[in-house]
Structure 1
């Protein structure tokens, strides 16, 4: 029974994180063209982020090992750190956003990224518990 609950929890987490990663991609796509004009290297970073988020989302939909949960949490966490840096000390050749903490797309992005980090880390624990249970049951069957 517990493994059924864990499997259902993992399935829901996979869907939630995949949707969150797709939302991160969408939010950054909406800001992409202005970034390419203002600060081209940030535009390129957005393209890489969008691609990575979509690849991870697709991988999570198909099923995921623990490394994909860590990757999703890391991607979202690094994106949050980039937002904090751009609003606090600024980024090279891009200081226009210093102090602009209430920008709506940025706040939406932070919210989604925090959800992705939390769900990914939770799922990482659930998947680890399932793997440990599988190893224990294999060992006891011998």
Structure 2
């Protein structure tokens, strides 16, 4: 598999994961808007950002889309972990909240794995060439 086709495949995986996480968070946002307003708002903002990232991956496989998706996914995983351990301001959850918690966690984790794989391919195929040193005639 060429690095280009691997990158396209990874973009597809990333787009699917971003879409899944966005849909899950949009489904549970109304409940969280009632329970803790700022959590519901963060779910909506994160979902919109992930939808934009998914579109950017499908349409252009853009660096910005990857970074937005990776940052939002990492932030959602962090928020999930904090809300179940030390808690967030005025908000503490118990357990994995099946099926939504499990689905979103897996989607975000797989997105991050795809991002790091894509980034590894990108850096090896876009590595800057070694600088060419001019030849200096002997004796100088």
* TM superposition score category, shorter chain reference: 0.7 to 0.9
In the alignment, the residues of structure 2 paired with residue 23 and residue 82 of structure 1 have an alpha-carbon distance, to the nearest angstrom, of: 17
Gaps of 5+ in 2: 133-140
Deviation at 1:48, TM superposition (A): 0.5
- Structure 1 gaps of 5+ residues are none
Distance in 1 between residues matched to 2:23 and 2:71, nearest whole Å: 18
CA deviation vs aligned residue, 1:89-109 (integer Å, no higher than 9, x gap): 1111212x1x32353210111
When you count helix as a share of all residues, which structure comes out higher? Answer: 1
**Distance between the aligned counterparts of 2:73 and 2:81, measured in 1?**
12
| 1:108 equivalenced with 2:99 (yes/no) | no
Cα gap change, 1:89 to 1:103, in 2 (>3 Å): farther
TM-score w.r.t. structure 2 length? 0.85
Q: Highest Rg: 1 or 2? A: 2
- Kindly report the root-mean-square deviation, in angstroms, between the aligned alpha carbons of the 2 structures: 1.9
Q: Take 2:97 and 2:51, find their aligned partners in 1: how far apart are those partners?
A: 26
Counterparts of 2:46 and 2:65, CA distance in 1: 15
- Native 8 Å contact 1:76 1:117 kept in 2: yes
When normalised by structure 1's length, the TM-score is 0.84
Aligned counterpart, 2:114: 119
What is the Cα deviation at residue 66 of structure 1? Answer: 3.6
Q: What displacement does 1:131 show?
A: 1.5
Give the alignment partner of residue 47 of structure 1, picking from 44, 48, 53: 44
Task: Name the SS of the counterpart of 1:94 in structure 2.
Answer: coil
